[in-house]
Amino acid sequence: MRIPHLRWWIAALLFLSTVINYIDRQTLSVLSPVLTRELHLSPIEYSNILTAFLAAYTVMYVGSGFLVDRWGTRRSLSVFMVWWSVSNMLHAFAQGVWSLGILRFLLGMGESGNFMAAFKAVSEWYPAKERAFVNGLINGGAAIGAVIAPPVITWINGKYGWQPAFVVTGSLGFIWLAFWLFLYHPPETHPRITEEERAYVLADPAVASSTGRVPWQQVLKYPQTWGLLLARFFSDPVWWFYLFWLPKYLVEQRGFTMAEMGMMAWMPYLAADAGALVGGWTSGKLIAQGRDALKARMMVMLPFAMLMPLSLAVNHAPSRTLTLTLICIVTFSHMAWKTNQTTLTNDVFPKPMIGTVAGILAFGNGLGGTLFTWMTGYVVQWFGYEAIFILMSVLHPLSYFIVRRLVRQPLAA
């Protein structure tokens, strides 16, 4: 049976895998006020638990990129999904700091592979003018997962307790897996793709090029690699803060109850989802109008980088409504930025390098997030949140300057 528009069904599955990925990692964040109280966690202990996740996440970015290139997209994403789903379910048995830290480490080992496999799938299935939109859809899945998590997990916790919340969210991956194994194969050999769509997908030179491999040592010689790595190192910690610390910040600093947090904390993540789609659509539209892909991404990234200093006003907002509004603008801008920044990997590097390059670049993301998250616990406990918001206000403009200086042209295939 041939399936029309198969690449968009695959895009839907990549979106859903990221939704599940973020629901699973967000379960602890939503429950953090409860676990902080029941397991007697200090801000520093909580940040150490988060750091365990990010340390594994960072290391496995490089490892999972290698595995994606070695195993292929279909097999690698299947293994990653099973690993992190089981790890999340085991959180129900956590007893304290050490057990939570170990389980978060295991979760981090599996979760980063979702994005390495997604990057590879984008390079295998989508021409240049569609890549930013699909990457926006994938990044939007992260935001939608974060949108779904607060109300659903808060409801499960209120009705059944925090342990079942981990079991329920962890089980979602096994439902997704059945559809993935049925639908995903490379376009060259897919038994259910129409011949018209196969020809369309493979007509793009960047998609059709699949010969040769470049060792990671060679990748590190390119200024493009360092430009994108450093940009992710500096800009991505902003998203990690809002992902891991927002529920805790709203409850402990802005006076939200758990129920209020569950009803309202999804808003910044929905704004991030809109930003991912708008950012990807805008640069794709510019390319369709004849703009160079690299210039189109830069044109979209600049205004959103300039909006990020609004972080300075978040902690001084006189009302909870204004606080959430400012956070929504920041998360919208960040994800519009990130969608185009992520797509630069596909624009700049040839297809055979994507898995390895994406892993190395994502190492910058994980390293920046790990150091920032670890530091946040100490800063919050000793000085409060103000210093964190000041630091976050300058990270995106700095990242834009780095990309502008070092990422000036794509590499030859």
Q: How far apart are CA 325 and CA 333, in angstroms?
A: 12
What is the torsion angle, in degrees rounded to the nearest 10, for the CA atoms of residue 334, residue 340, residue 341 and residue 347? 170
Q: Can you read off the two tokens belonging to residue 52?
A: 């365990």
Domain ranges in the chain are: 6-205+215-406
How many whole angstroms separate alpha carbon 329 and alpha carbon 126? 30
- φ/ψ of residue 64, rounded to 5: -70, -30
Question: Does pTM surpass 0.85?
Answer: no
- How high is the pLDDT of residue 82? 96
**φ, ψ of residue 76 in degrees (nearest 5):** -65, -45
Cβ neighbours of residue 360 closer than 8 Å, sequence gap 6 or more: 61, 62, 65, 216, 219, 220, 225, 229
pLDDT (0 to 100) of residue 39:
85
* Interatomic CA distance for residues 59 and 106, integer angstroms: 12
| Distance in angstroms (rounded) separating the CA atoms of residues 287 and 318 | 42
Q: What pLDDT is recorded for position 176?
A: 95
Question: For residues 363 and 236, what is the distance between their CA atoms, to the nearest angstrom?
Answer: 11
Mean pLDDT by 10 residues, the chain (413 residues): 86 94 91 86 87 87 80 92 95 89 93 86 82 78 83 90 93 94 88 84 63 63 88 89 85 82 83 86 86 88 93 88 92 91 82 72 79 86 87 92 86 64
Q: pLDDT at position 348, please?
A: 82
Assess contact for 153 and 168: CB atoms under 8 A: no
Q: What angle do CA 276, 32, 161 make, to 5 degrees?
A: 110
The domain made up of 6-205+215-406 has a fold known as Growth Hormone; Chain: A; (1.20.1250)
Structure token pair of residue 139: 């990044």
**Contact criterion met (CB below 8 Å) for 223 and 230:** no
For residues 154 and 142, is the Cβ–Cβ distance under 8 A?
Answer: no
